Amino acid sequence: MSSPTFPPPRTCDQCGAVITGRRDKRFCDIRCKNAYHRDIRRITEPVTKRIDQFLHRNRTILYELWKDARKKKFFVSRTKLYKKGFRFKYFTSTYVNNQGKLYHYLYDFRWMEFSTDQIMVVKQ
Ligand SMILES: [Zn+2]
């Protein structure tokens, strides 16, 4: 039985070849590094693209309304947002303030259901 080398040889994350050099090096060369990231992108993009488009569209809608309002905080009707194509179920995170109000974050904007039809939007 041969004794294993210690530390074990590091191998390229793409092709498995033994690599030497810096301890944090993960690929044998730039082609393997590019191929690795291209493969990851090819797998990830079909899953994330559609939702990313909804998020970006939502942000564009809020940005255009914010530009027209010329205020950091403004109100818009749910109906108006809906007609512009805003998709309420797509946001980047949520936050409940100390009064129990739920905020939906969308990148640098946050919005809250202020009343039945009024949405309060705040740009950060
Ligand atoms: Zn390689």
Interval between CA 21 and ligand 1 midpoint (Å): 13
Could you report the per-residue pLDDT of 39-90, keeping only the tens digit for each?
999 999 999 999 999 999 999 999 999 999 999 999 999 999 999 999 999 9
Q: Cis omega before residue 7 (within 30°)?
A: yes
Interval between CA 5 and ligand 1 midpoint (Å): 21
Token pair for 57: 């569209």
Q: Which pLDDT band holds residue 33 (cuts at 50, 70, 90)?
A: very high
Nearest to 120 by CA among 54, 69, 53: 69
Interval between CA 49 and ligand 1 midpoint (Å): 28
Interval between CA 23 and ligand 1 midpoint (Å): 15
Per-residue buried b or exposed e for 22-45, using 16+ beta carbons within 10 Å of the residue's own CB: eeeeebbeeebbeebeeeeeeeee
Interval between CA 42 and ligand 1 midpoint (Å): 18
Distance CA 66, CA 73 (A): 8
The structure's pTM equals: 0.76
